[in-house]
Amino acid sequence: MRNLAIDIGNTNSKVAVFDSGAIVFHEAVPRIDEARLRQLISDYQIENTILSNVNHSQDALVSFLQANTRYIPFSVEKNTGIQNNYKSPATLGLDRWAKLLAVHQLYAAQACLIIDMGTCITYDYLSAAGSYDGGSISLGIQMRFNALAHYTGKLPLIQWDRGEVIPSGTDTQTAIISGVLQGLKSELEGFINQRYKDNNTLKIMVTGGDARFLLGQFKNSIFAAQIIHDPYLVLKGLNEVIAFEYV
């Protein structure tokens, strides 16, 4: 059974083809359209499709998938066994829910903190018993630089080199970079330590386009062994829904 999972995020669209649970193709593009979907469906003989969207309505893409595949609508109601205690499930981001579903399947009976370093940074905790009580949403790295430039009269907009270490603030530019990156590092340490001190076997799942920052800053930390980088968590969660539907 070949499945096509589509994750339309704030910045890019990600797609993956799954064959018996394994990813056999993956790509990230600024925009996914019907022509590309038609090609993927033909090339990989796709049977089932599913789509997660955090932006505007994708009615045209959904109609196309419905007409050409067995399409599974995705919502927070699609649950593979998590105890969801979120008080407003209708407002829970579908990408966040998909990551929880993926982690629940990959690390059953294991407490996990999921950190998505994307346009926004999200922190979601899933207990070893499979209970989800909510999480946190914070500004992403570029959003922090943008906010400083937008809400001040003289501070410049910084184009951050993602491979850059945290510098000392010896001028305005390096002071901004130092403040943003050191502030984020402290934020990450706070969220991780909060969970780690209660459970030192905690798995720390990291995903998103800026995951490299976290991986670089914490490679020598006491919880480095618990950090797992998985760029495909949303897509894996979507595929898990398809598998669950057709067991």
Residues noted as catalytic: 95
Residue 67 CA, chain-centre distance (Å), reads 28
Which residue, 234, 205, 236, 243, is CA-closest to 110?
205
Q: Which two tokens stand for residue 56?
A: 């505007």
Q: Do the Cβ atoms of 3 and 50 come closer than 8 Å? A: yes
Q: Do the Cβ atoms of 95 and 54 come closer than 8 Å? A: yes
| Residue corresponding to tokens 């209708």 | 90
Q: Which amino acid is at 146?
A: N
CA distances from 89 to 34, 75, 119, 129, 168 (A): 30, 10, 21, 19, 43
Beta-bridge partners for 15: 6, 27
Q: Do the Cβ atoms of 90 and 75 come closer than 8 Å? A: no
